[in-house]
Amino acid sequence: MRLFVTGSKGQLGRALERAAAERGDVFMGHDLPELDVTDAAAVHAAVRTAKPDAIINCAAFTAVDAAESEEERALAVNGTAVAHLAGAADETGAVLVQISTDYVFDGMADRAYREDDPVNPRSAYGRTKLAGEAAARAARRHLVVRTAWLFGEGNNFVEAIRRQVKGGAASLRVVADQRGCPTYAGDLAAALLRLLETGATGIVHAVNEGEATWFEFAEEIVRRLGSPAKVLPITTGEAARPAPRPARAVLDTSRLRALLGGGMRPWQDALGQYFRDRR
């Protein structure tokens, strides 16, 4: 399979490169400054030259708080650029895989969100990613994959905790009233390629099994690091971040399990794999 991957230098892009190599797929990675996904002409030219079977869009404006004051810029990357990719996919006959987020939900539900549940983003980031979903669905062949709380090679929550611990922090203040699904980029990459094999279309939720608060996630990270640092719970209000976050954006993975004959492993096991891989 020939894979045209945007945002290839990010956590998921790097994981996809490794997963593709293991399978013998052709990986064609594109990122700034070589390719600006907001440049329609450049996108069409690159895809036309590559002749891929699938375009996997990992490029995104992911600075959640910055998006509150830079929504137009975030929309250009998370929304408008996806329309360019959708057009290029149709031109070449490729399937477009758009990576989306749990932030398209408001987090007010008392159960895990299914693919067909109503969306109601509370932040600029969520709104722009939802615009990207709409643009992707305009492609004749498309797959929108919502994921959450990604950690992989690069800057992420696990590494933020590790840096504090290695820096000698005796305690860490971590939000305890937001609940979601920590997800290992390596596992997500493998799931994406398997979904492509099945010919899946529409929307699929893909996260590691289980759920946690950021506080619980941090406790598990600290435990695995063997650190005596104390993790202290705080509220979202105490964290005082510009962008509102969904309080409980747990994603239901029933469709993923049905398509693949099973889901991704528990996030705790995936975290252990992450640490082994990083060593």
Note the pLDDT of residue 5.
98
Note the pLDDT of residue 245.
96
Task: Please name which of 199, 200, 209 lies closest in space to residue 112, comparing C-alpha atoms.
Answer: 209
Residue 220 pLDDT more than 90? Answer: yes
Active site residue 184: no
Residues 133-190 pLDDT 10s: 999 999 999 999 999 999 999 999 999 999 999 999 999 999 999 999 999 999 999 9
Residues 200-216 pLDDT 10s: 999 999 999 999 999 99
Residues 44-60 pLDDT 10s: 999 999 999 999 999 99
Confidence of residue 70 (pLDDT cuts 50, 70, 90): very high
Q: What mean pLDDT is predicted for residues 13-27?
A: 98
Note the pLDDT of residue 95.
98
103, 113, 125, 274: which is the annotated catalytic residue?
125
Q: In Å, what is the CA distance from 3 to each residue of 8, 25, 128? A: 11, 7, 25
Q: What mean pLDDT is predicted for residues 67-80?
A: 98
Residue 279 pLDDT more than 90? Answer: no
Task: Give the domains, in start order, of the chain with CATH numbers.
Answer: 2-156+182-210+250-266 (3.40.50.720)
Note the pLDDT of residue 118.
98
Confidence of residue 199 (pLDDT cuts 50, 70, 90): very high
Residue 278 pLDDT more than 90? Answer: no
